Structure 1
Amino acid sequence: MNNFKLENIINQKLNSQTIQDFVPNGLQVEGKEEVNNIILGVTACQKLLNYALEKNADAIIVHHGFFWKKESPVIHNMKRQRLKTILCNDINLYAWHLPLDIHPSLGNNITLANILNIKPISPNFSFPFFLGNFEKPIIGEVLRSKLTQILNRNVLYYHGDHALDSIKTIALCSGSGQQFIEQAVKLGIDAFISGELSEPTIHIVREMNIHFYVAGHHATERGGIQSLGDWLNKKFNLNTHFIDIENPA
């Protein structure tokens, strides 16, 4: 498949042109014209780039790519080596950030919600986070154990002193989505799942009496890129292979 055609297909699928982001979504570094062999990963780190090179990949697709807003434009050291690996070997680098977090069928949020059997409250995906219900209420510690098993990592768990014993309504937002917790609380949630923890969040959890799970930025953002790779394989018969570069954050 032509490298620019691949970009257009994924842009259309993820509706990325309608989403404001702080990173360019799509083809970030142009490589060879024809793409068949694709390596996918969460972040375009050097270890992933080296693996793609070993596997003779035509393209790399990631959730966290390059050229973030407010990032220094100077090409030194680590950034130089990463770009050198891609450019000198004619590999295409694609990245989709927020479009891959919130997509209603392939996104990080919906992927995790489906694994946990959380049903959306409505088909309205206008929120930056997923909002849904468990079919049957679940005990807070049981959900922590379930997340730990599913994501294969130690999940931190906090709750307010007067939080409900069981959880019915829940919001989740992958990565650094804890910034949306107050917005979600206004919608009547019992619990919130995110990837990261910030100091003010614990006070919000305590004072708003909800359950809160810190499941890892990397761990909560593996699902979307894997779903995208599976979709490309099934829909267009492209050779896609997801590589999980372990990250405890």
Structure 2
Amino acid sequence: MRREALLDYLDGLLEPAKFKDYCPNGLQVEGRREIRRVVAGVTACQALLDAAVAAQADAVLVHHGYFWKGEDGRVTGIRRQRLKTLLDHEISLIAYHLPLDAHPQLGNNAQLAQAFGWLAEGCFGEQNIAWRGSLPQPQSVAEVAARVAAALGREPLLIGDPQAPVRRVGWCSGGAQGYFEAAIEQGVDLYLSGEISEQTVHLARETGVAYLAAGHHATERLGIQALAARVAEDCGLDCRFVEVANPV
């Protein structure tokens, strides 16, 4: 498959033009024109690039790519080594950030809802990235946390009363603790994201709305896995997900 055809497919599927993002979406580093094998992962770290080289991949597809706003743009150190690996082996780097969080079927938030058995009912927050919904039946905060732990293979950090009832939930993958106050305004009993900040603890305690910090990496694994499976099915490519463990 030609690289341009794969990019056209991905852009049509994820619609990056709809988002104001913190990085370029789509092709970030240009490799060979013909693509037969793709390695997918959460972040374009050196370990993932090395796995792509070992697999003789033609492209790397990730959620977290390069060239973030506000970063030092000099090509030195770690950045030089990563780019050198891609360029020496003519591997393209393709990344989709907010479009992969927000996609209604393949996105991180959609996949989290499916994994937890939550019923999605709408979106909120900046660019409607965060999701809100309800549980099929009320559960305690502790029961919700246990379901999240089982689905993600990681114990979340719980702030709140474990015995409090939960009917309505809000969630947003990754570093979306900043949407907690907006989630509270949506009338949720519990909000889940990947990360937590110091002030989040006080907000949870003082409002009585539980907070689950389930891990940035853990909450953003499902979307790229779903996308890799769709690319393999629709494009006929060897597209395999590679896990690079990350405790955060």
Shared fold (TM-score, shorter chain, > 0.5): yes
Alignment of 1:1-249 (within 5 A): 1-122=1-122, 127-159=128-160, 165-249=164-248
For the 8 Å contact 2:40–2:224, the answer to whether it is kept is: yes
For the 8 Å contact 1:4–1:27, the answer to whether it is kept is: no
State the alpha-carbon separation in 2 of the partners of residues 17 and 180 from structure 1.
23
Residue 35 of structure 1 deviates from its aligned partner by 0.8
For the 8 Å contact 2:119–2:133, the answer to whether it is kept is: yes
What is the letter of the counterpart of residue 143 of structure 1? Answer: V
Deviations 1:158-177 (A, max 9, x none): 116xx982111101100001
Question: Which secondary structure state, in structure 2, belongs to the residue aligned with residue 121 of structure 1?
Answer: strand
Equivalences, count? 247
For the 8 Å contact 1:196–1:217, the answer to whether it is kept is: yes
1:47 and 1:149, CA in 2 relative to 1: closer, same or farther beyond 3 A? same
Residue 154 of structure 1 deviates from its aligned partner by 2.0
State the alpha-carbon separation in 1 of the partners of residues 123 and 88 from structure 2.
45
State the alpha-carbon separation in 2 of the partners of residues 237 and 123 from structure 1.
33
User: What are the ranges of 5 or more consecutive residues in structure 1 without an aligned counterpart?
Assistant: none
State the alpha-carbon separation in 2 of the partners of residues 222 and 210 from structure 1.
26
Question: Which secondary structure state, in structure 1, belongs to the residue aligned with residue 28 of structure 2?
Answer: strand
Q: Could you tell me the TM-score, scaled by structure 2's length?
A: 0.96
Per mean C-alpha deviation after superposition, the further-off stretch among 231-240 and 23-32 is: 231-240
Residue 127 of structure 1 deviates from its aligned partner by 2.2
What is the letter of the counterpart of residue 41 of structure 2? Answer: G
State the alpha-carbon separation in 2 of the partners of residues 6 and 164 from structure 1.
48
Runs of 4+ in 1 over 3 A off after TM superposition: 122-126
For the 8 Å contact 2:124–2:130, the answer to whether it is kept is: no
State the alpha-carbon separation in 1 of the partners of residues 136 and 167 from structure 2.
8
Residue 54 of structure 1 deviates from its aligned partner by 0.4
For the 8 Å contact 2:140–2:163, the answer to whether it is kept is: no
For the 8 Å contact 2:14–2:100, the answer to whether it is kept is: yes
Q: Could you tell me the TM-score, scaled by structure 1's length?
A: 0.96
Residue 211 of structure 1 deviates from its aligned partner by 1.1
For the 8 Å contact 2:109–2:131, the answer to whether it is kept is: yes
Question: Which secondary structure state, in structure 2, belongs to the residue aligned with residue 35 of structure 1?
Answer: coil
